Amino acid sequence: MTPEAASIEARKICELAPVVPVLVVDDASTAADLARALVAGGLPALEVTLRTPSALDVIREMATVQGGVVGAGTLLTPKDVEAAKAAGATFGVSPGVTDELLDACEANDLPLLPGTATPSDVMKLYARGYTVMKFFPAEANGGAPALKAIGAPIPQVKFCPTGGISMKNVNDYLSLSNVLCCGGSWVAPTNLVKAGDWAGIEALAKEAAALAR
Protein backbone atom coordinates (compact mmCIF):
# COMPACT_ATOMS: atom_id res chain seq x y z
CA MET A 1 0.00 0.00 0.00
CA THR A 2 1.40 3.38 -0.99
CA PRO A 3 1.38 6.30 1.45
CA GLU A 4 -1.09 8.05 -0.83
CA ALA A 5 -3.48 5.07 -0.74
CA ALA A 6 -3.02 4.77 3.02
CA SER A 7 -4.02 8.41 3.49
CA ILE A 8 -7.11 7.96 1.31
CA GLU A 9 -8.21 5.04 3.49
CA ALA A 10 -7.30 6.88 6.71
CA ARG A 11 -9.38 9.86 5.61
CA LYS A 12 -12.39 7.62 4.95
CA ILE A 13 -12.07 6.20 8.46
CA CYS A 14 -11.71 9.65 10.03
CA GLU A 15 -14.79 10.87 8.19
CA LEU A 16 -17.01 8.12 9.63
CA ALA A 17 -17.68 10.13 12.80
CA PRO A 18 -16.42 13.22 14.64
CA VAL A 19 -14.80 11.09 17.35
CA VAL A 20 -12.69 7.92 17.25
CA PRO A 21 -12.87 6.18 20.64
CA VAL A 22 -9.40 5.45 22.02
CA LEU A 23 -9.80 2.25 23.99
CA VAL A 24 -7.63 0.66 26.66
CA VAL A 25 -9.37 -2.65 27.40
CA ASP A 26 -8.14 -5.13 30.00
CA ASP A 27 -10.82 -7.80 29.63
CA ALA A 28 -11.46 -9.21 26.16
CA SER A 29 -14.76 -10.70 27.35
CA THR A 30 -16.25 -7.18 27.40
CA ALA A 31 -14.86 -6.19 24.00
CA ALA A 32 -17.75 -7.15 21.75
CA ASP A 33 -20.36 -5.53 24.01
CA LEU A 34 -18.28 -2.37 24.22
CA ALA A 35 -17.88 -2.23 20.47
CA ARG A 36 -21.61 -2.81 19.91
CA ALA A 37 -22.46 0.06 22.28
CA LEU A 38 -20.10 2.48 20.56
CA VAL A 39 -21.23 1.49 17.06
CA ALA A 40 -24.90 1.75 18.10
CA GLY A 41 -24.14 5.23 19.39
CA GLY A 42 -22.77 6.29 16.02
CA LEU A 43 -19.01 5.83 16.50
CA PRO A 44 -18.00 2.98 14.16
CA ALA A 45 -14.23 3.60 14.00
CA LEU A 46 -12.58 2.10 17.10
CA GLU A 47 -8.94 2.40 18.12
CA VAL A 48 -7.81 -0.40 20.42
CA THR A 49 -4.51 0.59 21.98
CA LEU A 50 -1.85 -2.10 22.33
CA ARG A 51 -1.31 -1.19 25.97
CA THR A 52 -2.71 -4.27 27.65
CA PRO A 53 -1.86 -7.99 27.41
CA SER A 54 -5.36 -8.65 26.07
CA ALA A 55 -5.29 -5.97 23.34
CA LEU A 56 -4.92 -8.36 20.40
CA ASP A 57 -7.75 -10.54 21.72
CA VAL A 58 -9.85 -7.38 22.10
CA ILE A 59 -9.22 -6.53 18.46
CA ARG A 60 -10.23 -10.07 17.44
CA GLU A 61 -13.49 -9.79 19.37
CA MET A 62 -14.34 -6.29 18.16
CA ALA A 63 -13.58 -7.25 14.56
CA THR A 64 -16.62 -9.56 14.67
CA VAL A 65 -19.03 -6.72 15.50
CA GLN A 66 -21.13 -5.68 12.53
CA GLY A 67 -20.68 -2.06 11.51
CA GLY A 68 -17.44 -1.61 13.40
CA VAL A 69 -14.13 -0.56 11.85
CA VAL A 70 -11.43 -1.71 14.24
CA GLY A 71 -7.90 -0.38 14.33
CA ALA A 72 -4.84 -0.88 16.48
CA GLY A 73 -3.31 2.01 18.36
CA THR A 74 0.10 2.43 19.98
CA LEU A 75 1.89 0.75 17.06
CA LEU A 76 5.61 1.04 17.79
CA THR A 77 7.37 -1.69 15.85
CA PRO A 78 6.99 -3.81 12.68
CA LYS A 79 6.13 -6.73 14.96
CA ASP A 80 3.20 -4.72 16.36
CA VAL A 81 1.97 -4.06 12.83
CA GLU A 82 2.06 -7.72 11.84
CA ALA A 83 0.34 -8.84 15.05
CA ALA A 84 -2.37 -6.20 14.73
CA LYS A 85 -3.08 -7.09 11.11
CA ALA A 86 -3.24 -10.79 11.99
CA ALA A 87 -5.72 -10.02 14.79
CA GLY A 88 -8.07 -8.30 12.35
CA ALA A 89 -7.15 -4.61 12.61
CA THR A 90 -8.08 -2.68 9.46
CA PHE A 91 -6.08 0.45 10.30
CA GLY A 92 -3.26 1.51 12.59
CA VAL A 93 -2.43 4.50 14.76
CA SER A 94 0.99 5.39 16.15
CA PRO A 95 2.17 7.94 18.73
CA GLY A 96 5.09 8.92 16.49
CA VAL A 97 6.81 7.56 13.41
CA THR A 98 9.90 5.69 12.32
CA ASP A 99 10.85 4.63 8.82
CA GLU A 100 10.67 0.99 9.96
CA LEU A 101 7.09 1.43 11.15
CA LEU A 102 6.02 3.14 7.94
CA ASP A 103 7.69 0.43 5.86
CA ALA A 104 5.89 -2.28 7.82
CA CYS A 105 2.46 -0.66 7.48
CA GLU A 106 2.95 -0.17 3.76
CA ALA A 107 4.17 -3.76 3.31
CA ASN A 108 1.23 -5.15 5.29
CA ASP A 109 -1.39 -2.96 3.57
CA LEU A 110 -2.38 -1.41 6.89
CA PRO A 111 -3.52 2.22 6.54
CA LEU A 112 -1.75 4.28 9.20
CA LEU A 113 -2.57 7.44 11.11
CA PRO A 114 1.03 8.37 11.89
CA GLY A 115 1.67 10.43 15.00
CA THR A 116 3.09 13.94 14.67
CA ALA A 117 3.90 16.68 17.14
CA THR A 118 5.87 19.27 15.16
CA PRO A 119 5.89 20.93 11.72
CA SER A 120 9.05 18.95 10.92
CA ASP A 121 7.23 15.67 11.62
CA VAL A 122 4.40 16.78 9.36
CA MET A 123 6.76 17.85 6.57
CA LYS A 124 8.69 14.55 6.62
CA LEU A 125 5.49 12.52 6.34
CA TYR A 126 4.07 14.82 3.69
CA ALA A 127 7.25 14.41 1.66
CA ARG A 128 6.74 10.62 1.82
CA GLY A 129 3.16 10.95 0.58
CA TYR A 130 1.06 11.04 3.76
CA THR A 131 -1.65 13.69 3.99
CA VAL A 132 -3.68 12.43 6.98
CA MET A 133 -1.98 12.28 10.37
CA LYS A 134 -2.50 12.11 14.10
CA PHE A 135 -1.54 15.14 16.24
CA PHE A 136 -0.33 13.81 19.58
CA PRO A 137 -0.34 14.55 22.45
CA ALA A 138 -2.65 17.33 21.36
CA GLU A 139 -3.20 19.34 24.52
CA ALA A 140 0.39 18.97 25.72
CA ASN A 141 1.62 20.23 22.34
CA GLY A 142 -0.29 23.50 22.44
CA GLY A 143 -3.79 22.29 21.71
CA ALA A 144 -6.06 23.67 19.02
CA PRO A 145 -4.11 26.95 18.62
CA ALA A 146 -0.94 25.01 17.80
CA LEU A 147 -2.71 22.78 15.29
CA LYS A 148 -4.32 25.81 13.66
CA ALA A 149 -0.89 27.42 13.37
CA ILE A 150 0.56 24.29 11.73
CA GLY A 151 -2.30 24.29 9.27
CA ALA A 152 -1.56 27.79 8.02
CA PRO A 153 1.64 26.90 6.10
CA ILE A 154 0.70 23.23 5.53
CA PRO A 155 -3.01 23.24 4.60
CA GLN A 156 -2.63 20.07 2.51
CA VAL A 157 -2.48 17.91 5.65
CA LYS A 158 -5.49 16.90 7.75
CA PHE A 159 -5.39 15.64 11.33
CA CYS A 160 -6.98 13.50 14.00
CA PRO A 161 -5.78 15.20 17.21
CA THR A 162 -5.63 12.92 20.25
CA GLY A 163 -4.50 13.36 23.84
CA GLY A 164 -6.23 15.39 26.52
CA ILE A 165 -9.39 15.91 24.48
CA SER A 166 -12.83 15.75 26.10
CA MET A 167 -16.30 17.19 25.59
CA LYS A 168 -15.01 20.39 27.19
CA ASN A 169 -12.54 21.19 24.41
CA VAL A 170 -13.40 18.92 21.49
CA ASN A 171 -15.24 21.67 19.61
CA ASP A 172 -12.07 23.80 19.66
CA TYR A 173 -10.47 21.14 17.48
CA LEU A 174 -13.45 20.15 15.32
CA SER A 175 -13.89 23.79 14.30
CA LEU A 176 -10.47 23.81 12.60
CA SER A 177 -10.32 23.39 8.83
CA ASN A 178 -7.43 20.90 9.10
CA VAL A 179 -9.17 18.55 11.57
CA LEU A 180 -11.17 15.57 10.29
CA CYS A 181 -12.04 14.06 13.67
CA CYS A 182 -10.69 13.72 17.21
CA GLY A 183 -9.51 10.73 19.19
CA GLY A 184 -10.79 10.45 22.73
CA SER A 185 -11.23 8.02 25.60
CA TRP A 186 -14.03 9.84 27.38
CA VAL A 187 -16.71 7.96 25.42
CA ALA A 188 -15.73 4.68 27.11
CA PRO A 189 -14.80 5.51 30.72
CA THR A 190 -13.30 2.69 32.73
CA ASN A 191 -16.01 2.75 35.41
CA LEU A 192 -18.80 2.25 32.86
CA VAL A 193 -16.89 -0.52 31.07
CA LYS A 194 -16.23 -2.38 34.32
CA ALA A 195 -19.87 -1.97 35.33
CA GLY A 196 -21.07 -3.24 31.95
CA ASP A 197 -23.12 -0.08 31.53
CA TRP A 198 -23.44 -0.37 27.77
CA ALA A 199 -26.47 1.93 27.65
CA GLY A 200 -24.43 4.62 29.39
CA ILE A 201 -21.59 4.21 26.88
CA GLU A 202 -24.02 4.28 23.96
CA ALA A 203 -25.42 7.56 25.31
CA LEU A 204 -21.92 9.08 25.48
CA ALA A 205 -21.26 7.86 21.96
CA LYS A 206 -24.45 9.46 20.67
CA GLU A 207 -23.47 12.76 22.26
CA ALA A 208 -20.07 12.60 20.56
CA ALA A 209 -21.49 11.48 17.22
CA ALA A 210 -23.77 14.52 17.16
CA LEU A 211 -20.86 16.98 17.32
CA ALA A 212 -20.56 19.31 14.35
CA ARG A 213 -17.49 19.30 12.13
Q: What does the pLDDT read at residue 207?
A: 98
Active site residue 47: yes
Q: Which domains does the chain have, with CATH numbers?
A: 3-209 (3.20.20.70)
Contacts of 120 (CB under 8 A, 6+ apart): none
Q: What does the pLDDT read at residue 213?
A: 81
Mean pLDDT by runs of 10 across the 213 residues of the chain is 97 98 96 98 98 97 97 98 98 98 98 98 98 98 98 98 97 98 97 96 98 89
Q: What does the pLDDT read at residue 22?
A: 98
- Full-model pTM: 0.96
Task: Kindly name the residue from 134, 139, 158, 202 that is annotated as catalytic.
Answer: 134
Which runs of consecutive H residues, i.e. helices, occur in 15-142? 31-40, 55-62, 78-87, 99-107, 119-128
Q: Under a CB-based contact definition with an 8 Å cutoff, are residues 197 and 34 in contact?
A: no
Q: What does the pLDDT read at residue 210?
A: 97
Task: Kindly name the residue from 47, 61, 139, 202 that is annotated as catalytic.
Answer: 47
Q: What does the pLDDT read at residue 202?
A: 98
Q: What does the pLDDT read at residue 25?
A: 94
Active site residue 85: no
